[in-house]
Structure 1
Amino acid sequence: MSGNSSSSSSSGIGFVGLLTILLVGLKLTHNIDWSWWWVSSPFWISALVGVAVVSTIFLVAAILDLRRRRRERAHRERDRIERERHDAERSERIAKERAASPGTRWRGGL
């Protein structure tokens, strides 16, 4: 077995974590005079961006599902109207066949 694997995993702290640690350090050493809200902003801003992305994905999925359902409903309605038209034409044809041969027993099939 070779020791070279093509999979990689990242177990670092990440940009948001590093930025937060930097801002906390600057705040604790009195190099910046920011509110703690702004010091912790990398976490809550990235969380808000994540929520916005997930919300957008769900909204797009809901809109696409709604469009698909409307399209399916329109197809079902179109099929129902076509079946009714076909049934009406068939009933007319059967009535004409019955009227054309009044003395014989009608033996129409499907």
Structure 2
Amino acid sequence: MLFRFQDRLLRVLYPMKPLANHLLWLGVVVFPLCFAFALVRPQTSTTSLFLGFVFGLGLVLFGILVSLTRPEALPNTGVRNRLKRFWEALVFWGWVGCLGTVVSLGLKVFSFAG
């Protein structure tokens, strides 16, 4: 069931594959921009800066996910396809774990900031 969800999601996102590099670079550029913004405007709230970091990390994670997409599911036969599916599953579920961690951290920061 989990592999079917992974396969469907990766096939649905396949039309966005040309945007993968742009998403990755935009996400990477957000981090130095947040630091520069904090230096220029020291009175900026830490919640806003954290939101910028979460947004940048979200773009990087989404870029990684989009770069994994493919037009059809891989067949289950052959050692090479099985290794490729294993690697893809490892990266995909690692991505889901990172996303859950970032969302959890964001909710904690926003609940304590209020």
With the length of structure 2 as denominator, give the TM-score of the two structures. Answer: 0.32
User: Which has a greater percent of helix?
Assistant: 2
- Greater Rg over alpha carbons, structure: 1
Higher relative contact order (CA 8 A, sep 6+): 2
